[in-house]
Every structure is written in structure tokens, then in C-alpha cells.
Amino acid sequence: MKKPISYFLGEGLLIVFSILLALGVNEWRVRSGEAADERKAIADISAELIENRELLEGIPAYHRDVSTALSAAIEDVAPDDPRTPMEIFSELDVLRGSIIIDRLPQSVSWQLAKDRGIVGRFDYATAKALATTYDHQQASVFDLYERVSELMIRPEMFVAENQAPTLQPLAVAFSELASREQLLVKMQDKNIAALNGDG
């Protein structure tokens, strides 16, 4: 039996329509999956920023107090003082158990979102603000944590001479650290508000 040409056209259109429908459903699944990944990444980054913000609670003020107390101790050091710079530093009343910070702020969620390419789907302003915040955390604050640690373990910190010149860079580093941490806290607050829809 011979089938009319309209039958073949109908079958062809049905096949084309089925293919287009399958492609549309697949595209929808991909887009909804990307949107879900983006929402999860934003929630994770927001939670990480909140946790980092809590870690820094009171830390800039503490480091400013250390700098102020150390500067006062430097002014009070007599030329014939028998104490080492480390002893003078250790006797400061404002020091806590962990001199620099208890735990370092993290960037795991941010790095994971970058590695998976999710950050590329954020709007430009959000991506730029987050990148600036995390770059400041890594390049500015963490580097200064390392610098302060290095200043504290220099050999001259354990020799009872030139106490004031030896301690002065440490006082300056703590002051600079407080300023950088304060800026980081402001950046974190701004990002948290923006990610939570408050800003």
C-alpha cells in the first residue's frame, strides 16, 4: 500500500518536533541545574563570609591595643634594660593566648565556586566585590599575619640589646594589621548584606 506524501511530511514534522522538545527539556534541565548551583554557591559563600566575620569579631581592636601597649612599652624601655625584646613583648597586659588570631578566615567556598566556573555566572558587581574581598583577605591580611609571625621570631628578639629598635617594626605591623582587618570586616559586612539581599 502506497502512503501519501502528507503522511511522510507529518512523520517528519513529528520527529523534528520531538527532537526540538527533547533539546528544550535538556536545556531547561541544564539551566535549572546551573541556577541551583549558583544559589548554593551564593549561600555557601555568604555562610563562609559570616563565619569569617565572626572570627574577626574584636580582632582589629585587639591588634590596635597590642600596638598601643607595645609603643608605650618601647617608650618606657631604659637603655640598660636587661630584658630581651621578646620578654618585653610577652609582658604586655593586653596579650591573649593566641597572639595573632585563633583561627584564620577561610576561602574554601569562594575557591570552589571559582574552580567550578560558577563565579563566572554571578553578576559582575557581585563577582568583583567578592573577588576584591577575598583578594584583600589573602594578599593583604594573611601576608601581614605571616610578617608579624616572622618579626616575632627574629633572632634579635631574643637578645637583650637594642630593644626599642627591635620592637618598633612589630608595633607598626600590629597597627597596620588592625587597619587592614578593619577594612576586611567592612568589606565582609557589605558583601554579606548584598548576598542576603539587604544591600
In a domain, 154, yes or no: yes
Percent of the chain exceeding pLDDT 70 equals: 95
Task: Indicate whether 79 belongs to any domain.
Answer: yes
Q: Angle 81-87-92 (CA atoms, 0-180°, nearest 5)? A: 105
Asked whether residue 7 is domain-assigned, the answer is: no
Domain that holds residue 178: 35-195
* Cα separation values, 127 from 27, 43, 107, 138, Å: 25, 14, 14, 16
pLDDT in tens, 106-132: 889 999 999 999 898 888 998 999 999
Number of domains in the chain: 1
Residue 149 C-alpha cell reads as 609571625
Query: Is residue 145 one of the residues assigned to a domain?
Result: yes
Q: Flag whether 20 is in a domain.
A: no
| Alpha carbon separation from 170 to 49, 161, 186 (Å, rounded) | 28, 16, 24
Distance CA 159, CA 156 (A): 5
Is 151 contained in some domain?
A: yes
Give the model's confidence band at 5: pLDDT under 50 very low, under 70 low, under 90 confident, else very high.
confident
Q: Does 29 fall in a domain?
A: no
Task: Return the residue matching grid coordinates 544591600.
Answer: 199
Q: Is residue 19 part of a domain?
A: no
For residue range 144-165, what is the model confidence (pLDDT) as tens digits? 999 999 999 999 999 988 899 9
| Over residues 13-34, mean pLDDT | 74
